[in-house]
């Protein structure tokens, strides 16, 4: 039997992945399975049968491995409703759905706290408002991570970070906010809902707490690839595992995840003074308050342009690997003017909540005086991936939120220096990229499993003093010229949002 490892599972939007780490917290084993959501009867969903196919495939390399502890993570939010025997009542409604506008608005007003459409409580309340036939049968509401955790352990609980995407959290009591729970129960009862939130929501746990162990029934669902008896860490969401994987769980730290979408997580020293629909308030896996700026659009438009430029190369009989092409184009952007020479790109393949657009239209905008070069165009493309995020981050700056360090991870940061340099300029803060950040969520979940067995008093100390004390990382401070150029670009970008709105309305 191989040496003991800690195992992290994550069910992401495109991959189900398993990562094992050794006693030095280094990734040593992994497996994965590719899947995608389906749009059925107006709902974005995933098959729960495929959950188990994917987990067994991802875990295949772990057959015979000695697992000391493990945990489950998944994309946050969404809606899984079960009856008292844990029979699924309606297909899984993922975070991608925007079908809860009325519920989200009413709950935001009721709580004085921003409730985004993708949150589980918005889905539950919308189902109540819609008088959906399954509502009277509801006995349990949970998330994808909570469902998998329950099926493997028999424990109906999630970590506090995951719970913070279900319902608002009281960061002092490390549980669902009691006053808001009371308000919801009174409101839902007036609409005919017979259950209380205490009855239907999973229990809330914090990092380091025991959350059950793999049962014989759970092991059987995984074809006994793993033996029963493995202890579990609390199930977490992808936001919490991303923070863990980048050592961004202490106040005044944050991380930026940049790929198909882009979002920042900043750990707060104190609550925000106002409610902002552009800012989600969640928590770290240990319950500290976090401000989240989430944007739907990041690298998709750049990817489309890279495809067009590849066609151009092939038109002349050339060929180039995907990695070489991205690296060359990213590096070419460094030759552009710091303000992109007056070339402005809107990368909105989809709508954006931060800028209040329900749909998107990708645009390249310039005037006769613009310096339209390949370098300026590419630099503008990369600036556009973080411009909407910057608008949200500016709200935090106006609130006086301090950020000592940001850690970047995701596809935007794969090419050394370039995305990191631009993000530092945009956020006016040093940006660090770590060697292990590419492992992402499942690596973070494996670390949370390791913390379950560790004697450190806090997650912050465990990560800083043990896991990342000697981590290989590169940090770039903001360059003054880049900051000035990005600020000039962003002002033009914000003025031109009226052009983007007109395109949505007329094209």
Q: State the CATH number of the domain containing residue 222.
A: 3.30.420.40
Contacts of 336 (CB under 8 A, 6+ apart): 373, 375, 376, 377, 378, 379, 380
Tell me how far CA of residue 276 lies from CA of 109, 222, 266, 399, in angstroms. Answer: 12, 43, 15, 11
User: How far, in Å, CA of 69 to CA of 7, rounded?
Assistant: 6
Give the model's pLDDT for residue 457. Answer: 87
Q: Answer yes or no: is 384 within a domain.
A: no
Q: Phi and psi for 41 in degrees, rounded to 5?
A: 55, 40
The number of folded domains in the chain is 1
pTM of this structure: 0.88
Tell me how far CA of residue 351 lies from CA of 28, 260, 358, 408, 498, in angstroms. Answer: 39, 13, 4, 24, 14
DSSP string, 25-66: S-EEEEEEEE---EEETTEEE--HHHHHHHHHHHHGGGTTEE
Q: Answer yes or no: is 66 within a domain.
A: yes
Structural tokens at position 451? 């913390």
User: How far, in Å, CA of 92 to CA of 112, rounded?
Assistant: 28
Please list the alpha-helical segments (H only) found in 60-175: 101-111, 120-129, 144-153, 160-163
Tell me the helix, strand and coil percentages in the chain, rounded to 5. 40, 20, 40
Q: Is 7 in a helix, a strand, or coil?
A: strand
Cα–Cα nearest to 306, from 328, 335, 337: 328
Q: Answer yes or no: is 160 within a domain.
A: yes
Give the model's pLDDT for residue 455. Answer: 87
Q: Answer yes or no: is 24 within a domain.
A: yes
Q: Answer yes or no: is 448 within a domain.
A: no
**Three-state secondary structure string covering 232-255:** ECCCEEHHHHHHHHCCCCCCCEEE
CB atoms within 10 A of CB 110: 15
Q: Answer yes or no: is 188 within a domain.
A: yes
Q: Phi and psi for 479 in degrees, rounded to 5?
A: -90, 130
Q: Is 262 in a helix, a strand, or coil?
A: strand
Give the model's pLDDT for residue 153. Answer: 98
Domain with 82, as residue range(s), is 2-246
Contact 463/447 with Cβ under 8 angstroms?
yes
Give the model's pLDDT for residue 1. Answer: 34
Rounded to the nearest angstrom, the gap between the alpha carbon of residue 127 and the centroid of all alpha carbons in its chain is: 25
Q: Is 435 in a helix, a strand, or coil?
A: helix
User: How far, in Å, CA of 377 to CA of 309, rounded?
Assistant: 12
Q: Answer yes or no: is 400 within a domain.
A: no
Strand partners, 158: 204
User: How far, in Å, CA of 230 to CA of 218, rounded?
Assistant: 11
User: How far, in Å, CA of 52 to CA of 1, rounded?
Assistant: 25
| pLDDT tens-digit profile, the chain (507 residues) | 356 999 999 999 889 999 999 999 999 999 999 999 999 998 999 999 999 999 999 999 999 999 999 999 999 999 999 999 999 999 999 988 889 999 999 999 999 999 999 999 999 999 999 999 999 999 999 999 999 999 999 999 999 999 999 999 999 999 999 999 999 999 999 999 999 999 999 999 999 999 999 999 999 999 999 999 999 999 999 889 989 999 999 999 999 988 888 989 999 999 999 999 889 999 999 999 999 998 989 998 999 999 999 999 999 999 999 999 999 999 999 999 999 999 999 999 988 989 988 889 999 999 999 999 999 999 999 999 999 999 999 999 999 998 888 999 888 888 999 999 999 999 999 999 987 655 678 999 999 999 999 988 899 999 999 999 888 889 999 999 999 999 999 999 999 999 999 999 999
Give the model's pLDDT for residue 436. Answer: 65
- Exposure on the CB side of residue 257, measured as CA atoms within 13 A: 25
User: How far, in Å, CA of 461 to CA of 467, rounded?
Assistant: 9
- 296: DSSP letter: S
CB atoms within 10 A of CB 248: 25
Q: Answer yes or no: is 128 within a domain.
A: yes
Strand partners, 292: 265, 280
User: How far, in Å, CA of 35 to CA of 16, rounded?
Assistant: 7
Cα–Cα nearest to 281, from 266, 295, 296, 269: 266
């Amino acid at each position: 039997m191989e040496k003991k490892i800690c195992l992290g599972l994550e069910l992401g939007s495109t991959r189900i992945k398993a990562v094992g780490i050794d006693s030095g917290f280094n990734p040593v084993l992994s497996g994965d399975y590719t899947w995608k959501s389906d749009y059925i009867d107006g709902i974005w969903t995933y098959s729960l049968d495929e959950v188990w196919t994917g987990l067994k495939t991802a875990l295949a390399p772990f057959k015979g491995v000695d697992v000391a502890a493990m945990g489950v993570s998944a994309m946050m939010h969404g809606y899984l409703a079960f009856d008292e025997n844990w029979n699924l009542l309606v297909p899984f409604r993922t975070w991608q759905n925007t079908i809860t506008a009325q519920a989200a608005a009413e709950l935001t007003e009721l709580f004085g706290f921003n409730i985004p459409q993708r949150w589980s409580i918005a889905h539950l309340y919308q189902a109540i408002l819609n008088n959906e036939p399954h509502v009277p049968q509801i006995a349990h509401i949970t998330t994808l991570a909570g469902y998998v955790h329950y099926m493997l352990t028999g424990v109906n609980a999630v970590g506090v970070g995951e719970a913070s995407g279900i319902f608002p959290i009281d960061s002092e009591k490390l549980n669902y906010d009691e006053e808001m729970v009371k308000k919801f129960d009174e409101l839902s009862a007036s609409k005919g809902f017979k259950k209380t939130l205490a009855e239907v929501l999973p229990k809330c746990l914090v990092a380091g707490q025991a959350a059950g162990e793999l049962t014989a029934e759970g092991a059987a669902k995984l074809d006994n690839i793993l033996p029963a008896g493995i202890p579990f860490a609390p199930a977490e969401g992808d936001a919490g595992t991303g923070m863990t994987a980048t050592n961004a769980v202490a106040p005044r730290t944050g991380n930026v995840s940049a790929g198909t979408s882009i979002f920042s997580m900043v750990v707060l020293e104190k609550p925000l003074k106002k409610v902002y629909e552009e800012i989600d308030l969640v928590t770290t896996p240990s319950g500290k308050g976090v401000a989240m700026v989430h944007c739907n659009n990041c690298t998709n438009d750049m990817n489309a342009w890279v495809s067009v430029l590849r066609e151009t190369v092939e038109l002349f009989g050339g060929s180039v690997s995907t990695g070489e092409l991205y690296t060359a184009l990213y590096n070419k952007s460094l030759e552009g003017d710091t303000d992109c020479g007056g070339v402005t790109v809107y990368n909105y393949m989809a709508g954006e909540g931060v800028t209040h657009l329900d749909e998107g239209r990708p645009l390249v905008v310039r005037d006769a005086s613009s310096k339209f070069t390949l370098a300026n165009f590419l630099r503008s493309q990369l600036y556009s991936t973080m411009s909407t995020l910057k608008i949200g981050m500016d709200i935090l700056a106006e609130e006086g939120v301090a950020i000592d360090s940001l850690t970047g991870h995701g596809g935007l940061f794969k090419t050394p220096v370039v995305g990191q340099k631009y993000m530092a300029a945009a956020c006016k803060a040093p940006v660090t990229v770590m060697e292990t950040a590419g492992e992402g969520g499942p690596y973070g979940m494996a670390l949370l499993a390791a913390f379950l067995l560790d004697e450190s008093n806090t997650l912050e100390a465990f990560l800083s003093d043990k896991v990342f004390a000697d981590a290989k990382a590169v940090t770039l401070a903001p360059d003054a010229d880049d900051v000035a150029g990005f600020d000039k670009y962003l002002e033009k970008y914000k003025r031109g949002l009226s052009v983007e709105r007109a395109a949505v309305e007329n094209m």
